[in-house]
Structure 1
Amino acid sequence: MPSRAPAAQEPSPPGVQLLVRIRAPDSSSGLSADLLRGRGERERTGRDGGLSSFGPRKDIGPEPIGSGVDEKRSVAKKPVTRIEKHGYPDSIYINAAKIFQGIRPEKSNDRNPVQYGDNSESPMMAFKDEHSRRLSYELAFNTLKYQGLLEEILLDSKTYPSHSIPDELTSLLVVMLYDLQDRKFRKRKIFAEEELVEEVQEIGRYLYSYRTKLAAALARCRIKYDALSIEYFLPKTIWKQEQRASALPICFWINTLKISLEDVIRDLEMKGFTKVESVSDFDHYTYAVDQHCHDVLVFPSSLREELLNLDLFADCKLLLQDKSRSLAVHSAQALLSEGGDILVAHVGSHLTIAHLSALTNHSTSTIFVCGVKSSAKEEELRNRFSPMGCENIQLLHDDFTELEPKDSRLEKAKVILLIPQCSGLGAGNPMELILSEDRDAGLLRDLLQGFVSEDKLSILAERQLNELIHALKFKKVQAIVYCTCSIYPEENELVVKKALESGVEGEKVQRYRLIPSVFSTCSNSESSTEMFFKMEPSEISSGCFLAVLEREKDTSKTAKDILASAVAKRLLDGIVEEKPKEEVKKQKVKQRRRKVTASEDSRVELKKSVNPDSHTAPSKVLKPKSHLSPLGKAYERQTPAQKACAEQNRTGLY
């Protein structure tokens, strides 16, 4: 999510004005202005109702983990690339500007005096590491949220337009302006190890030369809109989403490849955590076991940073991931038959695949993952899976829709897990969704608007339908799990129903039907609307849609039974040769004779042994004939010690 805003002063009581003196960063300029910072608290209105105020959140952290407990087990905080309020390396600004250029809303030239370059082509970006990628996206999204305010500051301060800055660099100008005001118009630090970019250096010097005018323009905007801080300029949709995301409990799944649930609980208790029944019972250092997934632990959102610094997280024993993905993984694992494999249609998050690997570790199952296009991506994934202990994963270069349903590698695949690209507006943390699953950054623009355009929704739904229909073509697959974090029926129920109605399975195999998921309490198979598992976005959970498709059970007779029935009814006269009745009768008589002879032999021999007229009855006939199999005879020849050992091993199999 976007970087946390600095805490602001408490708003004054209603009707009381607060006088604040704002100085320019450079005291030599002598510029100062007395500003009225708002008139108490007002009710926030929507985007059409003007920019109204709400107080920035105050994040009060709990006591540090480890106080009063075993501090040796704590892990030191990880170093952060960015030095607070001193800016970023040049490469971060370049990548953030490219992202912003691609996701900013298009406006007509007559309505927007600030002109941007052409963004028809997808930008090429190279990130130094995952942390740099995250910083670039966060900076781009923060710029997008305040685009209107930043453009007004540029125009009011006469910083824009400038003949020295072409339209192609306007995005970079706006991105760097956001960062300049975020660090209170202080000079940016040059990082010793960074590679300097000429355009970034030039625009940085240009903005800094206008810093006093820019600060004054920002102050005038705040007076104009009666805003205590720039957070007051957030669109209502973004404000609501960020409020919800900040309160959303965080979920960690336990990597049972490296640790057991009992050991995790013991470790947490040593660090002062207390287990409670549900999220409604949360109070400081508490946690709960998720009601749907037995290996998922839920914590208060306020503990996020401290939990990420625990040794449990550093050692890949606890892994942070949205609950919706854990629901999909557990649904797929529950459908897996003994010895069957799972086909994952999209790479998505490596955490989803790792979780599936952990759940299937005690079986012979292999997890096939589609869409690993390059050797670099394959190496990256293997480097991620290795410290987690995952070994039953096989990466495929093919896209899912390019795979042949009869592919010999998928001979034992019984379950398909399909988590397609979707609009994602139900996600609790859209930024995390984009970063962890390489999703379209356009989700940030949709989030800003509060909706997805009809054209985009139609394209997504068509792609999802094609993928689900392709999944239905794998004749040996017995079940499909379809999961999205969309709030639109067009991507959820309608896609599933259209796929089932397509009839692509053919007539020679059993058709698919909807069944309740393992989390559903629905038992009425006639009610298809209740067969889907859904969670609406709320303060305690992300949005999630889950559908489980399973092949109908084959209750028909076998081919041999059908053929015999047809012959008996003389439906296949001339097609199947029928044996003569006398031959059939002779075979039956022979079978009966063999049975009778076997039983009579035993009786005759027994009678001979007890006949008083017989003086030479052999002793061997006193023993009944043995009907033991070869294995049974071998068992009879075993010593008592060998028999005892065999019985012990046999008992261990159950």
Structure 2
Amino acid sequence: MNFYFEATKILDRLDAKQGSIKGLIATLPENSRKRSAALVIETLKYKSVLLDVIQTSGLMKQERKVNSINLALVLTHDLLLAKGGIQCGDGPLKAAILRHKTRLHGEFKRLAVKRGVASTSELAQTADERSAQIPRYVRVNTALWSAPQAIKYLEGVGFMLKESISSSAYHPKEFAKDAHIPDLLLFAPQTSFADEPAYQTGKLILQDKASCFPAAVLSPPASDDAVVIDATAAPGNKTSHLSALMRNKGKLYAFERDVRRFNTLKTMLSKAQCSNVVPTHKDFLTVDPNDDEFKDVTHILLDPSCSGSGIVNRLDFLLESGTNEEDSNVTSDRLAKLAAFQLKMIKHAMGFPKVRRIVYSTCSIHATENEHVVREALLSEEAKAAQFILAPRDEALSSWPRRGLLSEMACEDDAHSVIRCSPGEDLTNGFFVSCFIRKGLANGTLKRKAGEQEDGNANPHKKSKAKNRKAKKPIPPS
């Protein structure tokens, strides 16, 4: 019965908006995680149907022991949809559900007929169609072995390395090297690595391609005296990527303020054998930049909370229930609050006395969280005092063609400096990456002041915004 209670708690926390499905599932005990996770996901797929069935049957009105709607959902799910029915011994809760077995089955069949479906699976909520085209991306953990070693191993267990793979005709046993991120491999979307020993031991890490961009752009030093910060580190994929790029040298402080996510972070880092990481259960915003422990930090990765609007291959489509005008207003307010928090994070990072490179990223498609935040950061007193500018394109994954929205940036150079990923076109989740560097560190040359155009306009926004108020199309490759 315990895993029913675990699943119920996850659903309760989702209702309270205390985290994402994936993040909350990661907090479950490892020995029961797989079973509880499957129950949570399957229950959410049929949630609207199950709620209708439970309400119409009068179950909760007649059974006082079933006093939680989410507990009723998981038990009713297994009664109606699991092959073996409710998976627990006899007890008062199971008995309460079984007393209504005939009525629940009847209401379920009535609803299926009403909706005109031929099979039960048609009642399930489905994901964004774009997610079906996104490959399964697997990053080789170079802290433990090399890409050639990983490729040889994969070929030995039945996979075939190809020059490229087509998104319109994936083969389940084919894979290819990524064109932009070293040590990243592409597989068919449905390829499972859950039982693969190389995944279980941290040698292979499942990570979306766009999620690999921040660490690649930050390009942390691989030296014994390196001091780097990952400001919002959980669940740990980006942290382990940074650690691998640093070759497990120096110190990498990984901050996480939430205790459950912090425990998940530690588990991930242990699995990936990141020996240079210092997991730190603390809010990055409370850190004194001049503290002896952090005053020598030179590189900071910022991937703060965002709307998550760019993620299409995530489970959180199961939490969506349609939109209306009220929802849009809430979204607008939420975006403004998120943007204010994101800007605060960047300005705090700029206060570290020796920081030379700051990467700010989101998994959002909204300019409010992306270009607007970067633009405001460049105009901030913190940026001016420390002389921060945007790294030029040739230092920010120059081979990636999709760049920032020109209509939302101060000038063309700034738009070219930032990176965007489109979930419908780039075979990734939606993503945004920017990189701030101190003036004079761009290929050894001085660049324009923060927020200025090349002609020296001190306040370029009125001029350039009017000039560039065109359709919000990403900058094409140069």
| C-alpha distance 229-103 of structure 1, shift in aligned 2 (>3 A) | farther
1:239 matches 2:129 = no
TM-score (norm 1): 0.58
Amino acid paired to 1:285: K
1:97 matches 2:97 = no
Is the 8 Å Cα contact of residues 344 and 418 (structure 1) preserved in structure 2?
yes
Is the 8 Å Cα contact of residues 139 and 175 (structure 1) preserved in structure 2?
yes
Q: How far 1:287 moved relative to its partner?
A: 0.7
Question: 1:299 matched to which residue of 2?
Answer: 187
| C-alpha distance 309-530 of structure 1, shift in aligned 2 (>3 A) | same
Partner residue of 1:275 out of 154, 157, 161? 161
1:129 matches 2:26 = no
Partner residue of 1:488 out of 351, 357, 366? 366
Q: How far 1:120 moved relative to its partner?
A: 10
Q: How far 1:347 moved relative to its partner?
A: 2.1
Question: 1:207 matched to which residue of 2?
Answer: 97
CA distance in 1, matches of 2:365, 2:35: 28
Structure with the greater alpha carbon radius of gyration: 1
Amino acid paired to 1:219: K
Question: 2:78 matched to which residue of 1?
Answer: 179
Alignment of 1:512-527 (within 5 A): 512-516=389-393, 517-521=395-399, 526-527=412-413
Q: Secondary structure at the match of 1:483?
A: strand
Unpaired runs of at least 5, structure 2: 447-478
1:493-543 residue CA offsets vs partner (Å, 9 max, x unmatched): 111111111222454x32333532532347998432332211111383222
| C-alpha distance 535-164 of structure 1, shift in aligned 2 (>3 A) | same
| C-alpha distance 95-250 of structure 1, shift in aligned 2 (>3 A) | same
Partner residue of 1:290 out of 175, 178, 184? 178
Partner residue of 2:87 out of 189, 206, 214? 189
| C-alpha distance 176-246 of structure 1, shift in aligned 2 (>3 A) | farther
Q: Secondary structure at the match of 1:549?
A: strand
CA distance in 1, matches of 2:165, 2:431: 18
Amino acid paired to 2:206: L
Question: 2:458 matched to which residue of 1?
Answer: none
TM-score (norm 2): 0.77
Alignment of 1:525-564 (within 5 A): 526-538=412-424, 540-553=427-440
| C-alpha distance 240-134 of structure 1, shift in aligned 2 (>3 A) | same
Q: Secondary structure at the match of 1:329?
A: helix
| C-alpha distance 203-357 of structure 1, shift in aligned 2 (>3 A) | same
Unpaired runs of at least 5, structure 1: 1-89, 105-118, 432-442, 557-654
| C-alpha distance 365-338 of structure 1, shift in aligned 2 (>3 A) | closer
Q: Secondary structure at the match of 1:319?
A: strand
1:197-255 residue CA offsets vs partner (Å, 9 max, x unmatched): xxxx4332122122122112111111111112343334xxx5242x4434431111112
Amino acid paired to 1:264: A
Is the 8 Å Cα contact of residues 461 and 490 (structure 1) preserved in structure 2?
yes
Is the 8 Å Cα contact of residues 145 and 448 (structure 1) preserved in structure 2?
no
1:370 matches 2:243 = no
Alignment of 1:23-422 (within 5 A): 90-104=1-15, 129-130=29-30, 132-133=32-33, 135-162=35-62, 164-165=64-65, 168-183=67-82, 186-190=84-88, 201-234=91-124, 239-241=126-128, 243-280=129-166, 282-304=170-192, 307-333=193-219, 339-361=225-247, 364-371=249-256, 381=265, 384-422=268-306
Aligned pair count reads 422
Q: How far 1:481 moved relative to its partner?
A: 0.7
Is the 8 Å Cα contact of residues 534 and 544 (structure 1) preserved in structure 2?
yes
Q: How far 1:134 moved relative to its partner?
A: 5.5
Identical residues among aligned pairs (%): 26
Is the 8 Å Cα contact of residues 310 and 363 (structure 2) preserved in structure 1?
yes
Q: Secondary structure at the match of 1:303?
A: coil
Q: Secondary structure at the match of 1:302?
A: coil
CA distance in 2, matches of 1:368, 1:141: 33
CA distance in 2, matches of 1:492, 1:95: 36
1:231-290 residue CA offsets vs partner (Å, 9 max, x unmatched): 3334xxx5242x443443111111222211221122222233222222317433211111
| C-alpha distance 301-121 of structure 1, shift in aligned 2 (>3 A) | closer
Amino acid paired to 2:6: N
Question: 1:501 matched to which residue of 2?
Answer: 379
| C-alpha distance 102-398 of structure 1, shift in aligned 2 (>3 A) | closer
Amino acid paired to 1:294: P
Q: How far 1:372 moved relative to its partner?
A: 5.8
Question: 1:596 matched to which residue of 2?
Answer: none
| C-alpha distance 159-383 of structure 1, shift in aligned 2 (>3 A) | closer
Q: Secondary structure at the match of 1:368?
A: strand
CA RMSD of superposed structures (Å): 3.4
| C-alpha distance 353-224 of structure 1, shift in aligned 2 (>3 A) | same
1:511 matches 2:388 = yes
Amino acid paired to 2:9: K
Amino acid paired to 2:57: S
| C-alpha distance 515-134 of structure 1, shift in aligned 2 (>3 A) | farther
Amino acid paired to 1:205: A
Q: Which runs of 4+ in 1 moved over 6 A?
A: 119-122, 124-127, 335-338, 376-380, 522-525
1:363-418 residue CA offsets vs partner (Å, 9 max, x unmatched): x53211123676x9877755543453322112333311011121221233111100
Is the 8 Å Cα contact of residues 388 and 436 (structure 2) preserved in structure 1?
no
Amino acid paired to 2:32: S
